[in-house]
Structure 1
């Protein structure tokens, strides 16, 4: 493995660590303030940080690029709303991380339903494995499905749609008009796309918070601890994490990232155990391992290429 690829792998490991730590930041924040308000402030701050760098690219976006970015942001805003509600109502952070990771398995299914793409054969193997893991988590100690689990699964479905739309927005898309003419839609630069998405998520969650949460009472009692968790989540957990991931992916082949990025739920469960003292029963561990196995099965072609690259 080359020095450049090795450096990229180390950076991607750092990305997964930041992702896992971000779960802890967010959980601490929702213990102190309304969840949707936290997300609105987090993504507003992250958007402002990214806009400082992305401003020239934002000014060059045309109408079609901006509207596609906005659409991606709306879907991501709904996904993040479900996710933070899952974190707020859920009782186990580590379990939630594995449930949310189901979104990766559902990406080919969502692409099939929305865009009529043919999913790889590995998807049909991964889905029943993931379903078995989900069943183990829901049936642990008898049927105990809770609101947090429902929000996490809903978030996973929305994340799958987000991943599909985001990939299409970030790449040149070919479309055929009714007349039969073929045109190519310009891809949206990654930094500009992400910045628009950040602001849109802030708008979606902010509107939800204004409608459902007590802003006046929360702002009156806003504390330094609240501000600290918002700033940490926005800078380290969102803006800096995105910058590192983009940098690493510019250095590394895709297959390496495929393997390393699936470590996020593992790190999250470990950090939750260390920070909150969470423990898992044997059934919960089995369910999480089944979901993790489904991630590897779903990305098996990339996993196989990465293993081959590391061993040669």
Structure 2
């Protein structure tokens, strides 16, 4: 029988692949849907689905738990609005995925800035290496940070704040209920923003609806369900280390799916960012339980 830790690792590996697939599904869906409208429909329907499946956790929640879940959902919503705007303007999804993954490095830094948590030395080293990686990417076009890269970087910072708030304020909320509420809040925020700024010019084709459903069912609902299940089976160090593979999967899929290529300088920049993720998790990697 497969060891529990190995099952958790394989599930988390699948989660990173599904997350990378979400980049592809979203890229295809944006060919027919406005970005904010797409992310709104995707997250609201996913939130309703997860919430319905976990209704036994949602129903008994107290008012304070609802406030905390909704507040952290608003922060997550700001991050996802930045992410989808970045995706809508991106010419290279692989590069964007590596920039977005900086949220892992920034979690302890945000914790230090806002909650007076002392980061380890490895965190500062990882941040330095990540900065060098971002510098390499920006120098690709002569010290110029593309608008999409700026959105992805903003999303990374806000996601790091979201992680800290989740860890600090939402520990008492059942994970499925918390996930469903947060996804729903993101969807409502995005739909409101879409209603104020976007127009839906043409009806969506069957292909567009297919990409939307794939995003809702596979890249959002199934991904978060499996992530919650895997995190409940093993230590956080397992998940943290394996989650660093998401940008790698995304870059590989972008090359296979979209025929993307990277210049040598971009490869160096992305490699430095990936190295910063490993440095940030180095202690867990060395002391990984069997």
Q: Taking structure 1 as the reference length, what is the TM-score of the superposition?
A: 0.90
Q: Distance in 1 between matches of 2:151 and 2:235?
A: 34
Q: How far 1:253 moved relative to its partner?
A: 2.4
Q: Distance in 1 between matches of 2:169 and 2:219?
A: 23
Unpaired segments of 5 or more residues in structure 1? 172-186
| SS in structure 1 of the partner of residue 145 of structure 2 | coil
1:43-76 deviation line (CA, Å, top 9, x unaligned):
0110121122111211111111100000110000
**Pairing 1:192-271 to 2, within 5 Å after superposition:** 192-215=177-200, 217-218=201-202, 221-271=203-253
Q: Where does structure 1 differ by over 3 angstroms across 4 or more consecutive aligned residues?
A: none
Residue equivalent to 2:263: 281
Q: How far 1:3 moved relative to its partner?
A: 1.4
Q: Distance in 2 between matches of 1:153 and 1:273?
A: 22
- The structure number with the bigger radius of gyration is 1
Match for residue 190 of structure 1 among 172, 175, 178: 175
Q: How far 1:162 moved relative to its partner?
A: 0.8
**Pairing 1:65-104 to 2, within 5 Å after superposition:** 65-104=65-104
Residue equivalent to 1:177: none
**Pairing 1:1-312 to 2, within 5 Å after superposition:** 3-171=3-171, 187-215=172-200, 217-218=201-202, 221-306=203-288, 309=289
1:73-127 deviation line (CA, Å, top 9, x unaligned):
0000000000000000111000000000011111111111221221222111111
Q: Distance in 1 between matches of 2:185 and 2:44?
A: 9
Unpaired segments of 5 or more residues in structure 2? none
Q: How far 1:263 moved relative to its partner?
A: 0.3
1:150-174 deviation line (CA, Å, top 9, x unaligned):
1011111111111111122332xxx
| SS in structure 2 of the partner of residue 23 of structure 1 | helix
Q: Taking structure 2 as the reference length, what is the TM-score of the superposition?
A: 0.97
Count of residues in Structure 1 that have an aligned counterpart in Structure 2: 290
Q: Contact 1:45–1:231 at 8 Å: present in 2 too?
A: no
Q: Distance in 2 between matches of 1:35 and 1:77?
A: 13
Q: How far 1:143 moved relative to its partner?
A: 2.4
